[in-house]
Chain A
């Protein structure tokens, strides 16, 4: 009896491994080994023309001390990440709250808000460089129509990052809105009605019930938003090529240039590891502090 049960659990384990084997092999081949690989490469001087040569931590030292672009790129990326996550989450929450009202044509509105997310980033980058065009672009035409000053948008150091944020909020908020909307629909009606009976306004309802109830989803949106923003590439590659004066030289664009334009694989690998550490530390920090501002149902506090 005992042997038969053992055999059953063994076949189950083998079958389980076989079914899961694609993703297990995939993780090993495309994630785990490359992670070690990129660490090893970062410790070499690897150029396509020459054989790799061991140089220890020299690539990292160079990055932090003499590299002309590294700190600037980090600063520019951090600026973009903070602005983009704040704007996307706020905009998506407001839109989701509006869509959650009793309105006609909610489906159509939702499709409108989701549509930009479907458009390939290459196409939207081409489109927005046209909209941002300082002379003939739609945005300056609109500004002029309401008697405001024209802007240089992508062409000025001070406005280039906010401009890319505007475009990225447009292009990237669709999923965040849908996720917020689903969370809002899950907020129990009894609780909202209880506040209303006690004479609370919509703000009281929002502050006391809705916001805490959807906080796990807000948390999810912030984390995924942070990581996605940190790896922004296509927009700056196509619209600004990192300019003007490196004001939109985002981290992954720097990494791409280091690897594929300067053929400096060692330096690019060092950049990759720094990115791994940044993303891990960020995620860890957020998860650590989440208990302070995320409310999970049924959790004793």
Chain B
């Protein structure tokens, strides 16, 4: 009897704590949406109101008028699409090479891949920037796209290699016996096997490129080339007190990744899980 009472209170505590934690996560997001729908007068009311009597759509129009967000959106897509494509193709190729072939120096290169995961990108920033300015690549999208086509990030290579290792060798051996080239084996046999991991990599890279602030801040220097992240930052500078319009602008940049997350949630969780467990 005492045991079951303890059980019931135990479960109550679990739900209570979970609800508090969930509120901590959700409340700021709710406040973002709520503030984006208000007039400035409503926003500064005390005690604060939870939701405005009428939604002020004008905030979004004002935000769009104040900054060329459509242009920023276009620029962001110009960066994001080749990012995802480059990561999918070159990370899977590299991972296949590291997972399935014996060649001298393979372990050395793989350990460098692991090292590159830990290396903070900021430490190689100066020479990379000087290289791009020599190549006249500053204020173009090239510095944000080209590096991704060289392996698509050490982290993605590592993740896909771990996945390739779980595919039984019999499959590629059989394909090779039938006379398939290495490329065909990779493209027609192996790729279908690792599709879930590829989806995770595509999602990670989409999010990374969409959310990236540091690199666009450094390489893009005019309004014509800004991505959404950098554009929003300048908005913070000039609209710092118009919280409703600023929040409307923030909502615009938050919505696409949230939609992508809701659609691809399962692959996401699998991808994250894989890195931690095998790591």
Contact = CB atoms under 8 A, between A and B. Distances in A.
A binds B: yes
Interface of A: 9, 12-27, 29-35, 37-38, 41, 94-95, 98-99, 101, 103, 109-116, 118-131, 133, 136, 138, 141, 170, 175, 178-179, 182-183, 186, 202, 217, 220-221, 223, 227, 230-231, 233-234, 237-238, 252, 255-256, 259-260, 265, 268-269, 272-273, 275-276, 279, 283
A276 B123 contact: yes
A211 B100 CA distance: 35
Interface of B: 10-11, 14-15, 17-18, 21-22, 24-29, 31-32, 35, 43-44, 46-48, 90-91, 93-94, 96-98, 100-104, 106, 109, 112-113, 116, 118-131, 147, 149-152, 154, 157, 182, 186, 207, 210-211, 213-214, 217-218, 228-230, 232-233, 235-236, 243, 246-247, 249-250, 253-254, 257-258, 261-262, 265, 268-269, 272-273, 275-277, 279
B18 A233 contact: no
Contacts of A259: 125-126, 129
A138 B27 contact: yes
B25 A272 contact: no
A120 B246 contact: no
A98 B14 contact: yes
Contacts of B25: 112-113, 115-116, 170
A30 B90 CA distance: 15
Contacts of B275: 179
A197 B183 CA distance: 56
B214 to A, nearest CB: 6
Contacts of B214: 233-234
10 contacts: A9-B102, A16-B101, A17-B103, A23-B152, A26-B150, A98-B18, A115-B261, A126-B247, A141-B47, A276-B119
Given A119-B258, A126-B232, A101 B11 contact: yes
B18 A103 contact: yes
B contact face: mostly helix, strand, loop, or mixed: helix
Nearest to A277: B123
Contact of A182 (B104, B218, B246, B273): B273
Nearest to B123: A272
B116 A268 contact: no
A272 B124 contact: yes
Nearest to B186: A19
B28 A116 contact: yes
A17 to B, nearest CB: 6
Given A109-B22, A217-B277, A223-B118, 4 more contacts: A119-B257, A128-B28, A178-B276, A279-B120
Nearest to A113: B25
A78 to B, nearest CB: 15
B277 A186 contact: yes
Contact of A99 (B18, B121, B253): B18
Given A120-B210, A128-B28, A23 B247 contact: no
A275 B43 CA distance: 43
Nearest to A31: B116
A138 B126 contact: no
A217 B274 CA distance: 11
Contacts of B90: 22-23, 26
